[in-house]
Amino acid sequence: MTMIRTSSAEPIMAGPGASPAIEVADLVKDFKAGRAVDGVTFTVARGSITGLLGGNGAGKTTTIAMIMGLVLPSSGRVRVLGYQMPEQSAEVLGRVNFESPYVDMPMRLTVRQNLTVFGKLYSVPDLKARIAELADDLDIAGFLDRPNGKLSAGQKTRVALAKALINRPELLLLDEPTASLDPDTADWVRQRLLDYRRRHGATILLASHNMLEVERLCDRVIIMKRGRIEDDDTPAAIMARYNRNTLEEVFIDVARGRTQETAS
Ligand SMILES: Nc1ncnc2c1ncn2[C@@H]1O[C@H](COP(=O)(O)OP(=O)(O)OP(=O)(O)O)[C@@H](O)[C@H]1O
């Protein structure tokens, strides 16, 4: 285990398994139009799959962007794999990756060229072999030499997943990983994510509007509303607390302001 001194007086424990995958404390983000994240605190255990739920504008994407160090918090603290973000981001970014259907890869580059660029950014060793392995695992070998702009939504998602896994990340952050996919392809993507977690012991944090997906994938659910955490527990415990059989019903209760006591 390594002790690292940072600008803050407190040392950070940075050894393998020494700290949670993510620690977020009193996180706040103010934009000109108002407060997007309003004092959020949670930790994510290594090897877990955690779902970040909440209605449109609840603050999920902003929270994930602050965890990645892409958006600077107005106040509060983020640690990823034991390192303080964004100050120590250089220590962790190679061990983390991200996927969102709303962030396109360069359209004119072929799939192989895209994966090569991202692989080089992550200094992936033996990159050709890694791309071949992912092409096999994610069934993209048939269109490796096609421009990204000429792929269907389902094919693009598989390529985006290949990009997200190229550096064998210990922590994977996903923003609606199955948005706009047909149920069969969405199920296939979920299975790949479960396989990846099982094989590599990776941690996954995902924002999703698909409640069945969250019930199926997640060990734990954090529900956000207007920038704050409304609930945080296992899917089963949350459904029991709201006296509901599905997370979809809980989501609607939370969105419509029904409390755990009044929901029935
Ligand atoms: N770059 C930005 N500049 C100004 N306001 C922003 C910015 N990014 C997000 N916001 C605002 O912050 C709030 C939270 O947005 P965010 O995208 O984090 O929510 P979300 O929970 O991910 O929503 P959705 O489910 O619709 O993707 C919203 O009111 C949004 O308009």
pLDDT in tens, 95-122: 999 988 777 788 889 999 999 999 999 9
Predicted local distance difference test score (pLDDT) of residue 264: 56
Calculate mean pLDDT across residues 18-28.
Answer: 94
Ligand 1: centre distance to CA 153 (Å): 24
For 61-75, write each residue's pLDDT tens digit. Answer: 999 999 998 899 999
Out of 1.10.760.10, 3.40.50.300, 3.40.220.10, 3.40.190.10, select the CATH number for domain 3-103+170-255.
Answer: 3.40.50.300
C-alpha span between 103 and 53 (Å, rounded): 20
pLDDT of residue 119: 96
Q: How far is the CA of 224 from the centre of ligand 1 (A)?
A: 12
- Which tens digit of pLDDT belongs to each residue from 131-177? 999 999 999 999 999 999 999 988 888 899 999 999 999 999 998 88
pLDDT of the residue at 146: 96
| Domain edges within the chain | 3-103+170-255
The confidence score (pLDDT) of residue 2 equals: 44
With beta carbons less than 8 A apart as the criterion, state whether 56 and 64 touch: no
Mean pLDDT to the nearest integer, 193-212: 93
As a whole number of angstroms, the distance between CA 209 and CA 170 comes to: 24
- Locate the ligand 1 atom nearest the alpha carbon of residue 224 and give its number: 21
Q: Is 101 in the pocket of ligand 1 (CB under 6 A)?
A: no
Cβ(87)–Cβ(33) below 8 Å? no
Task: Give yes or no for residue 18 having a pLDDT over 80.
Answer: no
* Token couple for 182: 């047909």
Q: What is the CA(86)–ligand 1 centre distance, in A? A: 20
Which of 53, 60, 225 for a ligand 1 pocket mutation test, highest count of atoms within 8 Å of Cβ? 60
With a cut of 0.85, is the ipTM above it? yes
* pLDDT of 261 higher than 70: no
HEC string for the chain: CCEECCCCCCCEECCCCCCCCEEEEEEEEEECCEEEEEEEEEEECCCCEEEEECCCCCCHHHHHHHHCCCCCCCEEEEEECCEEECCCHHHHHHHEEEECCCCCCCCCCEHHHHHHHHHHHCCCCCHHHHHHHHHHHCCCHHHCCCEHHHCCHHHHHHHHHHHHHCCCCCEEEEECCCCCCCHHHHHHHHHHHHHHHHHHCCEEEEECCCHHHHHHHCCEEEEEECCEEEEEECHHHHHHHCCCCCHHHHHHHHHCCCCCCCCC
